[in-house]
Each structure stands twice: as C-alpha cells, then as structure tokens.
Amino acid sequence: MKPSILIVMLDFLVCSLLLFVVGDGGPVPRRSHATGVHEAFSASALEAQQQEWDREYERQMLRARLERETTTRQQLEARLAATTVTLAERESQLRVLTEEQARLHQLQQQTEQTRRAVEEQLARVEAERARLAGEGEAMKAELARVEAEHTRLLQEKTELARRAAQLGETVASQQATITLLSEEIRAAQARMESQLGEVLRGQAVMSDSLAQLETSARQLPAQWQATLADFGEEQRRMQDDIAALLAAAREMQAALAPDERARLLGAIEELQRGQQQLSEKLRGVYAAGGDAALSDALGALQAGQVALTEQTARLAEHLEAAQPQRAGPHRAVRAARLEWRTELRARHRRDGTEVRFRAQTFPPTVQLGERIGMVLPAQTLGVNWRGTGPEYEITEMVHTLRRHGEIIWQGRLAGVTCVFPDEPRLVFVPLPALVSDVQPLRLAEAETVSDQLYVFKSTAAGLSFVAETAVDLADERYRVLKQPLRGMAAWFENPAYRGQLGDALLTADGQFVGILVARDRAFILTPQTILDCPLPVSSAR
C-alpha cells in the first residue's frame, strides 16, 4: 500500500479516537492549571492540533491528488506516446493495406480479364471441338464412302482387267485401222493439194486467156468490146475470190474433220471443172465468126461464168460452215449474212444489141430499232451501169436473196432503197417482210470500238481477216485500214487480206461498225446515219 494512503488512514483513526474521548458537546471550558490538565491537551491546543491535522490532511490529500494526477498524466503521456506509435503503425499498416487493396483490385481486374479470356478460349475450344466432332463424323462418312469406293474400284479394276484382256485382242486390228486411216488422211491431203494445184494452174491459164481476150476484143465492134470488158472485170474479181478461197482452204484443211474435208474437196473439184469449162468457152469466143456466132459464144461464156459463180459460192459456203468454231464474230456473221444478187438485161434502142449486168454480194443484215436491212454498194444494184443510159431499154431486172444457197425472196425493188446523204456510194435496202430466218447484227457504239477490227469480204462468204484501223483524222465519219504492204509488195498480197468496196467492218463480238468504200477506207455507220436516210412508203415486191 502507498505511504500517503496509510498516513491518511492513521489520521482518520486518531481523529476518531479523540472525538470519542473528548466528545462533541461544544467548546470545553478552559481549565486552569489547578485542575491539573496539561496545556498541550487543552481545548485550544487540541483545536489548533485539529486544525493542523486538517490542514495536513488537506495537504496530504492534495499531494495524493497531485501524485495521482501526475501519475495519470504520465500514464496518459505514456499512453499518448504509445497511441502515437500505434497510430503511426496503424497508418503504416493502413498504407500497406491500401496498397495491398489496390494491388488486390488490380489483380481482381486482371483475374476478371483472364477469366473472360479463358471463357472465350473455352468457347472457341468448344466450337473447335464441335467442328472437329462434325469433321470427325464427316471423315467417318467419307471413310465409309472411300471404303465403298475402294471396293467398287477393286471390282472395276477386276472388270477393267478382264476388258483390257479383251481389248488387247483388238488393239492390233485397231492399230492397223489407224494406220490405214492415217494413210487415207495423207492421201486426202495430197489429193487436195493436187486439186488445189490444178485449180491454181487453171487460174494461170484463165489469166492468160483473159489477157488474150483483151487483145482480141480490140478488133471487135464497140458494143462487143464493152461486153467483153465487163466479163473480164467480173472474171478477174472472181479469180481473186477463188485464189483467196483456195488459200483459206489450204490453211483450214488440216484441222477439218474427214467428212468436212471430203465435202470441201468435192467443192474444189467442182470448181476446177467449172473453171476448165469456162476456159473452153472462152476459147470458143476466139473462134467465133460473125455477130450471131459471137453472140452465142458470149451467151455461153456468160452462162459458164454464172455456173462458176455458183461453184465458187458453194466452196465459200463450205468454208464458212467451218468458221463458227473459230474465235471472233464468225458465228454471228453466219447467222446474219445473206446473199444478194442483181441481174439486169438491157437492149440497145438502135441496133437491138443486148447487154447484161450481174452482181453478187454477201452483206450481213443490220438492225436499228425497227429497221432491219442491208447496206450495199450502189454499184451492186446496177447504178451507173451503161445499160441504164438513155440509149438502152431495161428488159429484165431481178433481185434475189439467198440464204445458204436457197432462194428466200426474189423480185424487183420498187423504190425502197435509200442512198446515204453523207456517202452516196452506199445504199440502205430494207429486208423484205417475208424474210424472217435472219439474226441481224447490232450497230457498235463508238466508245466500244477498238482499233483491231474484223473485215468480212462481201464478194465471197467465209473470207475474213483482222485489220488494224484508226479514225480518219481528216473526217471522223471514216476509219482507215492500215496497209501492211505498200508499193510493188502489194502486188503479191493475198487477195483474202485485201479490202474492197462493200466489205463489212465488225468488232470481235460481232457488232457492226461500217462498210468499206475503198480498199483502205470505211464509212462508219451510226444510228443517226440510218435514221437520216429517208425511206419511201412502198416496199419490195
């Protein structure tokens, strides 16, 4: 126990004892010395002593309180220091906890992202598993099919082995047949080359005969000279066509099927015979004496020329029939092409001499809106022919349309032709209403026309070549054909690659571009060109 508390307790016991002895009856009268009481125990002394004890008690109480407060303050200071230290530790821990919480939050976000990534990966894995399962099922089905196919192939192999054994027995005979056919093909090619040589030799003989005819014609009357000049001009044109057809036949014959080669060879042989017969009739003209005999000889000569024209047309038809398999617009041209013939006969009003005009061309039909027709050179209709002059009377006029050798219309033009205002050398002839089995070509738009175009000959079906062209800078209504050969070299040019009046100019996809008005110049047809060409109300009949 603390000393201060013990002192206080002792003071309390002493005071209690004194109060018990003396009592509390008020102030005790001071006794004299006679009574015999010691002054130290007198009432005043005791009162002073009491006061002194009270003051001492109070001092003890104050000291005790001070000590308690000091102790308390020290304890509080110690607790404050401890609390400060604890607070610092707590703050440090709080910072650590905050950092840990931030780290945990970041870790939680990363964990969430990882979880989502894992879920997506799991979804992909599941989809891949499902796909692989499906592929596995498909592979199982494919394996089953392959096994079945393998079984079938084994069976077929067995069957093929059996058939191979059977076929092996016929290989020798087939090889012999192939060898025989090869020999036949070589013989057919040699025969065609021989026949082509015969026709070319006939061409040379015909050229000599025509030159001799020109020399002999100078001694005849003027009307016979003109007739023979017309014949010679027409025959030279035919000779060029025949030479071009023979060149095309030589190029194509190796690629032809046996039946096509046989038909082509037959047409060449027929042409060779017709040319030989015409040469004999030409010699008959030299031997003719007198106007009557000369007239008969010329009639036979013209008939032979007509027959030769028919034979040339059949050869061209065979060549054209083999063209649609080739690249380019050959199929479209064959479906749109017709054969136009003009035959005129006139009698001289004074001496009764007859003259004849005959023209043949193979124009493709063209469509623009509701208009379907052919663009022809005006001279093909006999324009400016001498028989149309005032000294002659037209006795016969026949126009014929043929398709693949068959007549589809024949009659006379009753004012239905139209001369192009911008190019009077060309005329537009509407297609007769009865002609329906034709697929006309469309006009090409200017922006779609390239410089490389196809030229289709108008004098013989089946002849065409590719030419480089360019718009005429002097007149945009025309296109110019670039000539690969110039000067004397042009004399040796293949007639099949030589343009002339009336040849059609087409694009590679079969659209109509224009008509040649000269060897190297073509008039471009446009929708407005045909629309500006006025047509009478009457039609062909």
pLDDT at 492: 43
pLDDT at 162: 79
Angle ∠(370,372,375) on CA atoms, nearest 5: 140
Cα gap 498→520, rounded to integer Å: 9
pLDDT at 515: 93
Number of Cβ within a 10 Å radius of residue 462: 27
Q: How far is CA 216 from CA 150, 213, 220, in A?
A: 86, 5, 7
pLDDT at 359: 85
Most confident listed range (257-261, 447-451, 483-487): 447-451
Under 8 Å between Cβ of 374 and 361? no
Strand pairing report for 452-456 and 464-471: antiparallel
> How would residue 101 be classed by pLDDT, with cut points 50, 70 and 90?
confident
Strand (E) or helix (H) holding 356: strand 354-361
Neighbouring residues of 93: CB distance < 8 A, sequence distance ≥ 6? none
pLDDT at 307 over 60: yes
pLDDT in tens, 192-234: 666 666 666 766 666 666 666 666 666 666 666 666 666 667 7
> How would residue 111 be classed by pLDDT, with cut points 50, 70 and 90?
confident
Q: How far is CA 514 from CA 443, 449, 518, in A?
A: 9, 11, 12
Residue among 420, 483, 479 at smallest CA distance from 449: 479
Q: What would the mean pLDDT of 362-366 be, rounded to a whole number?
A: 89
pLDDT at 353 over 50: yes
Radius of gyration, CA atoms only, the chain: 66
Which two structure tokens, joined as six digits, stand for 102? 């931030």
Number of H helices, E strands in the chain: 7, 15
Most confident listed range (243-247, 292-296, 318-322, 392-396): 392-396
CA terminus-to-terminus distance, the chain: 160
Q: How far is CA 12 from CA 7, 8, 181, 373, in A?
A: 9, 6, 161, 156
Burial class (CB in 10 A: 0-12, 13-18, 19+), 425: middle
Cα gap 527→366, rounded to integer Å: 11
> How would residue 20 be classed by pLDDT, with cut points 50, 70 and 90?
low
pLDDT at 348: 84
pLDDT at 527 over 80: yes
Q: What would the mean pLDDT of 125-137 be, rounded to a whole number?
A: 85
Topology of the domain covering 329-541: Thrombin, subunit H (2.40.10)
Task: Average the pLDDT over each of 72-86, 304-318, 390-404 and give the range with the smallest value.
Answer: 304-318
Strands (DSSP E) found in 9-98: none
Q: Helix (H, G, I), strand (E, B), or coil: what is residue 271?
A: helix
pLDDT at 92 over 80: yes
Residue among 393, 336, 383 at smallest CA distance from 359: 383
Q: How far is CA 414 from CA 205, 400, 430, 540, in A?
A: 42, 14, 11, 6
At residue 316, what are phi and psi to the nearest 5 degrees?
-65, -35
Residue among 342, 359, 274, 366 at smallest CA distance from 314: 274
Which two structure tokens, joined as six digits, stand for 91? 């703050």
Higher pLDDT, 272 or 490: 272
pLDDT at 538 over 50: no
Task: Average the pLDDT over each of 48-57, 126-135, 194-203, 352-361 and give the range with the smallest value.
Answer: 194-203
Q: What average pLDDT does the structure give for the chain?
A: 76
Under 8 Å between Cβ of 329 and 509? yes
Q: How far is CA 126 from CA 115, 130, 135, 410, in A?
A: 16, 6, 14, 82
pLDDT at 67 over 90: no
pLDDT at 414 over 70: no
For residue 277, the one-letter residue type is: Q
Higher pLDDT, 436 or 290: 436
Cα gap 338→409, rounded to integer Å: 11
Q: Which residues of 141-177 are buried (b: 16+ CB within 10 A; e: fewer)?
A: eeeeeeeeeeeeeeeeeeeeeeeeeeeeeeeeeeeee
